[in-house]
Structure 1
Amino acid sequence: MLSKIFNKEYPEFWKKYTDSFKNPATKYVVISMETSGLDTDKDVIMAIAATSVINNRIILKDSFEIFIQHKAFNETSLDNEFITVSKVDKITESQSVEIILNYISNSILIGHRIDFDIEMLNKLLSKLKLGKIRNEAFDIEAMLNKILETNDKMYALDEMSNILKMPVSNRNSVADDAYSIALLFLKMKDKLGIR
């Protein structure tokens, strides 16, 4: 009985993900999510976008945006912006996990309030009886707080762009947010000595 528990057969994509940490990270991956709310116990991930940053360049051709199907979720509680994409093709949670883990591999994750995003991803992994996200992560809000020498102040993406004297995005999708986060990260990383 115990041997069955300890010798659980994990999916190939999970093995590939965990094996990737034998090597050092070679890129940053910027993640943005749309969730049904801010309660990690009750809410779900509706969409995820990601893009890579390599050698101080945003690699747009290496980006993705996926929408996740939730059978028991009532979409009428979402705002109009998200309802307009409700007709977009969606994939299952298990398909989304495979796509995400294959994409992020051992990279360093970047996000706006990244701890929440990682917690939501971990909840998804837990549903599939997999482990937790192992990636190192940087939060752009924490980076700005460090630069401004403030303590735990919260900033919207537009507010951060204004503070750093950058153009403000129209932000029509999670992919737009991922791109904005990538630009903000590039603007701040050298100031903080992040290589």
Structure 2
Amino acid sequence: MEWLKELINQLQPVDKNAPAFWHRYSAALKEQPSRDTPLSEAEFVVFDTETTGLDQRRDKVLSIGAIKVRGLQVLVSDTFECLVQQEGAPATKSAEVHGLLSSQLEGGIPEREAVEGFIDFIGNAVLVGQHVAFDIGMINQMLKRQGISGKLRNRSVDTAHLAIRLERRHADSHTLKTAEYSLDALCERYNLPTEDRHTASGDAFATALLLLKLLSLAKKRGITTLGELMKG
């Protein structure tokens, strides 16, 4: 009943007191592309967040990286990237992974400005990420802290789930090895570069390249429209 969920999302009223960027976003969602849209014509925003940890309720976003894919091409000139000011944030184990220091984050932008810029960037595009539900959840928490009652309502594609779907059509789920579907493993399998891993922009770019590989594989499986891609 994905179509019903989309209809409900489109009919949700917008708080008249919401900031201008949220009104722009809500208006854009009313013009989401049809499920019959060919994948070759669809616009995707591939994004990643670096965070203080994995608890969506308590941890915070330190950086966001996003890049657009349109016409089955990665648009390297159409990107969004920011560091987010979060007091004391790097004093966590996650700092060992993303490498962000307090001194770097001090040069970042306020959370309100970061989430507003990201929302304006994505518009009604299909959101794509490796385990994208986590990143969407972190953005939703940013919105909540800024007094926005709504959440992201774009269609979304998880590259890990899509890879599993395309590669293991008839396989037993009990034999699935999740490590084989990490971003590093998938990039290695498809001979994709992985420079700047564990930075938001680097991971977004690697995931965008992975998306193109998966869309090519999807075409061979007879998947050619957004609606077909969103199934399963």
Could you say whether these structures have the same fold, taking a TM-score greater than 0.5 normalized by the shorter chain as the test? Answer: yes
SS in 1 for 2:136: helix
Task: Point out the more displaced range, 184-193 or 52-61.
Answer: 184-193
Q: How does 1:115-154 map to 2 (within 5 A)?
A: 115-130=133-148, 131-149=150-168, 151=173, 153-154=177-178
For 2:194, the aligned partner's letter is S
**Deviations 1:71-123 (CA, angstroms, capped at 9, x unpaired):** 2x342322275235842620111101110110001100000000001111111
**Counterpart in the other structure of 1:57:** 73
Structure 1 residues 19 and 79: CA distance shift in structure 2, 3 A: same
**Counterpart in the other structure of 2:64:** 48
Aligned match for 2:86, one of 70, 77, 80: 70
For 1:49, the aligned partner's letter is G
**Counterpart in the other structure of 1:20:** 28
TM normalised by structure 2 equals 0.74
TM normalised by structure 1 equals 0.88
TM-aligned CA deviation for residue 126 of structure 1: 1.1
**Counterpart in the other structure of 1:113:** 131
In structure 1, stretches of 5+ residues that fail to align are: 1-5
TM-aligned CA deviation for residue 7 of structure 1: 5.9
Structure 1 residues 194 and 114: CA distance shift in structure 2, 3 A: farther
**Counterpart in the other structure of 1:92:** 110
How far, CA to CA, are the matches of 1:177 and 1:7 in structure 2?
34
For 1:83, the aligned partner's letter is L
How far, CA to CA, are the matches of 1:156 and 1:83 in structure 2?
22
In structure 2, stretches of 5+ residues that fail to align are: 1-13, 34-41, 226-232
For 2:143, the aligned partner's letter is L
C-alpha RMSD of the superposition: 2.1
TM-aligned CA deviation for residue 153 of structure 1: 4.7
Q: Is the 8 A contact 2:132 2:157 kept in 1?
A: yes
